[in-house]
Structure 1
Amino acid sequence: MRGTRLDTARIRAARRVIDPVFLDTPLYRCEALEPRLGCTVSIKLETANPVRSFKARGTEVVASRLAEGGAAAVVCASAGNLGQALAWSGRVRGLDVTVVASRFATVAKLDRIRALGARLELVDGDHEMARERAAAIARRDGIRLVEDSLDIETCEGAATIGLELVGTAPSFDTVLIALGGGALATGVGHVVKALAPGVEVICVQPLGAPAMTRSWREGRVVITDSADTIADGVAGRCPVPAVLDDLLLVADDAVLVREESIMAGMRMLLHHAGLVVEPSAALGIAAVLEDRGRFAGRHVVTIVCGSNVDVDAYHRWVGAAALHGS
């Protein structure tokens, strides 16, 4: 597909440097969900790996190239999943990894970053403040700053999911993709539009963190003052212009969903698919719940993108979904 920053040949090459433990994740039809959603549902399970999210596909590409170039250190800002992934990928390649995160991030994610050997620095603000601090560290120390979604390796690593979808899935009509910074959406979207152009690419974001969706709808960067959602992995406020340009070319639609629907989606994935997922991973199910008529009779693929959750918070969210009758 022409126009985006991504390249399908590079995406195919990326598979050769990604640890196989992160590749060829399960893809299966989940019939137990279908009576409740009114459509055929297939799940791409990106949590079945050592860091329990799709992010390592991208950090494997980043770290591999850094190691080949003789780099010794790297820094990133993260809500949690990117930091874990970079810590994993950097550790096995001898890189000194620093992760900057909000001290309000999910504790389980922060603990795992430390356990993987990364240096963790916390800021008293949101993810955007963490991004600013990570950039300052990179300038001060003269090391590589990994910027999720802006760095093409993160998008093309995520795009390998798209290769697996179009290469192994039976015919499907729609792919539902969690939308945050945009690496997953632009990566998978690029491959789907290049290799299966008839498939509808729908991005899903929380109503409380709508910056990228509003930007896509208006065709320009829209920065929001705040982000208020339990889906911390997609809670950015400041879209990257180059990523938005890519998204405008590959997304057919971008929708916003309520917090209640996200929690209901998490509960459905637990009770009918046996999956404990973080809120971002339930966005696709939430989109179907809010507009069953749109998806009736379709074959929908949803990417379950992460399962790093605080156990107490998870029980509150799933319990809240039960109280709302989902």
Structure 2
Amino acid sequence: MDAHRIRSADLGDLDLSVTRIDMASRAIDPVFRDTPQYVDEQLCAALGRRVIVKVETANPLRSFKGRGADFLLGRRTDARHVVCVSTGNFGQGIAYAARARGIAAEIFAPAGVNPSKLDRIRSLGATVIEVAAGRSAKEAAAEHVAAHPDCTLIEDGREPEIAEGAGTIAVELLRGERPDAIVVPLGDGALITGMARWVKEFDPDIRVIGVCATGAPAMLHSYRAGHPVATDRADTIAEGIHVTIPVPESVARLTRLVDDVLPVTDSAMLGAMHLAATTLGLILEPSGAAGLAAIANHDIPGATLATILTGSNAHSTHLSALLDPH
């Protein structure tokens, strides 16, 4: 898609609001706001590109997920008991925001999720329900809510407020040096669509590019098809972008707002984790390094690129990549 065709005049019917993104930039918990963004010379030399990094790992959750969760629950003043599905980071965001408001939270986790992420969710006061292999965590959560009318089901990627909260990253990013393209890890789509809504309103010539794992191509296929395309399974170490069943609302936003979606391999993400550790001194999880992996392995046009380092809750089995990506 040509970035010059994505203009604010064409986006007025979207359910994402630049007014609410602006509101969120002041309303969400300050602990998640105004994160570091800078150019590191060693990283640029290694990539052969000028790259701005925005670091979303220096907060109590070690990821960007607190932004959207906090904005959402701040507006759902009638919620008393919330339920969601998460592979870890979003669950932490909901647990953190719920605890701050005295709301009960239950997080349904698919089988095989990083146990350290589940421990962190529990430490924030939420209940974790681990769903057995072969059963859909999404279906289990929906059944639970159907049986408990006092519960509110929250779906990452569906709720506009989550994307709008994540869109505050773009508000901050565009206050600094202007990039020609922004490269964003693409999981359920809340982050990239929230950011793209702001970018396309105020500087539509900046390209917004999503990054999927080659082993989890559902969002890539959905973007190219223009409608949700589910896959039977996903095989990737990147939990944060592990998607098999795209959220229709998110795909609808994605196809309107995003300029391209690129795949990266698990090996490329491990290499990007190593690169971040040796140049930036940062520990990233695979999905958190996906943007760097795309910049390293794809010829993305532009003199200056930006990427979001989205999370640092790495599984213990992946930490060896920080020393040796192979």
Q: Name the TM tier (shorter chain).
A: over 0.9
Q: Which residue of 2 aligns with 1:215?
A: 222
Q: CA RMSD in A?
A: 1.4
Structure 2: gaps spanning 5 or more residues: 1-7
Partner amino acid for 1:111?
D
Structure 2 residue 136 is the aligned partner of structure 1 residue 132: no
Distance, in Å, in 1 between the alignment partners of 2:248 and 2:182 is: 24
User: Do 2:25 and 2:171's aligned partners in 1 also have CA atoms closer than 8 Å?
Assistant: no
Q: Secondary structure at the match of 1:79?
A: coil
Structure 1 runs, 4 residues or longer, greater than 2 Å off:
314-320
Contact preservation (8 Å) 1:73, 1:95: yes
Q: In structure 1, what is the Cα distance between the partners aligned to 2:249 and 2:87?
A: 21
Amino acid at match of 2:267: E
User: Hey, what does 2:4 align to over in structure 1?
Assistant: none
Contact conserved, 2:57 with 2:312, CA < 8 A, in 1?
yes
Structure 2: which amino acid aligns with 1:300?
L
Q: Does 1:305 align with 2:310?
A: yes
> Out of 73, 84, 92, which is 1:84 matched to?
92
11-20 vs 82-91, greater mean Cα deviation? 11-20
Q: How does 1:205-284 map to 2 (within 5 A)?
A: 205-284=212-291
Rounded to whole Å, the distance in 2 between the matches of 1:192 and 1:313 is 36
Question: Are the aligned partners of 1:4 and 1:245 in contact in 2 as well (CA < 8 Å)?
Answer: no
- Quick check: 312-321 or 207-216, which moved more? 312-321
The percentage of aligned residue pairs carrying the same residue is 40
CA contact (8 A) 2:82 2:103 kept: yes
Alignment partner of 1:285 is 2:292: yes
Shift in Å at residue 316 of structure 1?
3.5
Separation in 1 of the partners of 2:324 and 2:109?
A: 27
Q: Which residue in the other structure is 1:26 paired with? A: 36
Matched, 1:94 2:102: yes
Which amino acid letter does the alignment assign opposite residue 203 of structure 1? G
CA deviation after TM superposition for structure 1 residue 320, in Å: 5.3
The answer to whether the aligner puts 1:194 opposite 2:237 as a matched pair is no
**Counterpart-to-counterpart distance in 1, 2:42 and 2:144:** 48
Alignment pair present for 1:314 and 2:321: no
Deviation for aligned residue 1:176 = 0.4
User: Deviation string for 1:261-283 (max 9, x for gaps)?
Assistant: 11100100000110100111111
Query: Quick check: 2:266–2:286 contact (8 Å CA) kept in 1?
Result: no
Structure 2 residue aligned with 1:151, among 136, 153, 159? 159
Query: Paired residue for 2:128, among 109, 120, 124?
Result: 120
Asked if the contact 1:180–1:212 (Cα under 8 Å) also holds between the matched residues in 2, the reply is: yes
SS in 2 for 1:145: strand
The whole-number CA distance in structure 1 between the counterparts of 2:167 and 2:146 is 29
Where 1:294 maps in the other structure, the secondary structure is: coil
SS at match of 2:300: helix
Cα deviation 1:236-288 (Å, max 9, x = unaligned): 10111221111111111101011111110010000011010011111111111
So what's the TM-score if we normalise by structure 2? 0.93
Is the contact between residue 182 and residue 247 of structure 1 (CA under 8 Å) also seen in structure 2? yes
Structure 1 CA distance, aligned partners of 2:255 and 2:245?
16
Matched letter for residue 321 of structure 2:
W
The answer for the alignment partner of 1:109 in structure 2 is 117
In 1, the alpha carbon distance for the partners of 2:243 and 2:30 equals: 30
SS in 2 for 1:148: coil
SS in 2 for 1:287: helix
Structure 1 unmatched ranges of 5 or more: none
Could you tell me how far apart the structure 1 residues matched to 2:102 and 2:75 are? 12
Residues 78-99 of structure 1: per-residue CA shift (max 9 Å, x gap):
0000111111110010000100
**Aligned residue for 1:39?**
49
For the residues of structure 1 that align with 2:183 and 2:26, how far apart are their CA atoms? Answer: 26
Matching residue's letter, 1:259 = D
- Whole-Å Cα distance in 2 between the matches of residues 315 and 156 of structure 1? 32
Contact 2:184-2:211 within 8 A present in 1 as well: yes
Mapped to 1, the partners of 2:237 and 2:101 lie a distance apart of 33
3-state SS, counterpart of residue 311 of structure 2: coil
1:93 is matched by which residue type in structure 2? R
| Secondary structure of the structure 1 residue equivalent to 2:167 | helix
User: TM-score normalized by structure 1?
Assistant: 0.93
What whole-Å deviation, never above 9, does each CA across 1:298-317 have from its counterpart, x for those lacking one?
Answer: 2111100111112x312233
2:13 is aligned with 1:6: no
Q: For 1:216 and 1:149, how far apart are their aligned partners in 2?
A: 14
Q: Is residue 189 of structure 2 the alignment partner of residue 182 of structure 1?
A: yes
Number of residue pairs matched by the alignment: 315
**SS of the counterpart of 1:313?**
helix
Q: Structure 2 CA distance, aligned partners of 1:147 and 1:294?
A: 32
Paired with 2:15 and 2:215, the residues of 1 have a C-alpha distance of 29
